[in-house]
Amino acid sequence: MSTEGTQNASDRLMSIILAIAILVAVVASILVIWGGHSAMENLKLATGYATLIFLFFLSMVVLVDIIRNKINLSEMLEELSGGASMSRFQLLIFTFVIAFSFFVIVADQGKFPDIPINVLALLGISASTYAVSKGLQVSSNEYSEAVPKSNDATDSPAKLVGDVGDEKNAS
Amino acid sequence: MGLIAYAAIWLALAFLLSMLGALLWKMLGGQIALGGIFYGDHRNGTTYLSIGRIQLFVCVLMVVFDFALGMTARRARQAFPDIRLIWVVLFGVSAVLYLAEKAYALCQTAGISSHKRGNGNVH
């Protein structure tokens, strides 16, 4: 059997497992909801369980694809030039730290917490650093690609400026 | 708290931990490369040991450590910790220094600085 065939069989098996798991979750939810509640209570519970099941299996699919390398994260922390990027790395750290803190507070309080302005500022600085860093990298690459098109490979931008200056002097 | 809330909390925890585990696993296995994280690039492709990256890394560690300390405090489970303004300012300054160094390095090599001077020298 070819590699592609094995991959297809593996995908099919994963789909079947996921379908069975979703079915089990839905049946279990119906059994839980099937209490002596009013129609409105049942509707609320059904909506909650449906949302929960959807989000859980969506995240499961993402996780499984990450683990099986169908979602490729190998360049997640890379600069355009190839090395690891400090700006991406610090954004990753802040995202996880604040996500875990958020989780702890929601788990304890059972409601959406107030987020202090300083925490928002930290996350904002972190994300802005990444955005500006990426902008610098992209503009630098575009500049580097544009220069050889307008000139010989041996000429530098500085040489270009020097040439313009010479022409002005000559005239 | 109802059963559905407990289920949501445990599923969220499972997702966060799995995601973190998967990322750490890939980082330790070398699939997500961290090599050269303290090295910057010049425009011509050469690299250099970047002080800006190192100080940003140290600053991030300090801020995260302070945040984690705040979270372990008694009141922390009820709200986000009060981050002192000095940490926010310090992190902002650190980020600006990192970006300034990066911009300078990218401009320096092939020519924006030379471009302005117009002296024909490429650094």
For A72-124, what is each residue's pLDDT tens digit?
888 888 887 778 899 999 999 999 999 999 888 888 888 888 888 999 999 99
Most confident of the ranges A24-28, B57-61, B73-77 = B57-61
Q: Who's near A52: CB < 8 A, 6+ residues apart?
A: B4, B7, B8, B11
Q: Quick check: A43 pLDDT over 50?
A: yes
Nearest to B80 among A32, A55, A105 (CB): A105
pTM: 0.74
Contact B99 A129 (CB under 8 A): yes
Residue A85 exposure: Cα atoms within 13 Å on the Cβ side: 23
Q: Who's near B66: CB < 8 A, 6+ residues apart?
A: B83, B84, B87
Tokens representing A116 are: 């202090």
Nearest to B98 among A81, A86, A116 (CB): A86
- Distance separating alpha carbons of residues A78 and A69, to the nearest angstrom: 17
Percent of chain A exceeding pLDDT 90 equals: 17
- Interface membership of A35 toward B (CB under 8 Å): no
Average pLDDT score over residue span A38-49: 79
Nearest to B20 among A84, A96, A121 (CB): A96
The pLDDT of residue A36 is 62
Q: Quick check: B98 pLDDT over 90?
A: yes
Q: Interhelix angle for B85-108 vs B51-71, to 10°?
A: 160
Contact A79 B23 (CB under 8 A): no
- Distance separating alpha carbons of residues B82 and A115, to the nearest angstrom: 10
Q: Which residue has the higher pLDDT, A156 or B46?
A: B46
Q: Which residue has the higher pLDDT, B116 or B66?
A: B66
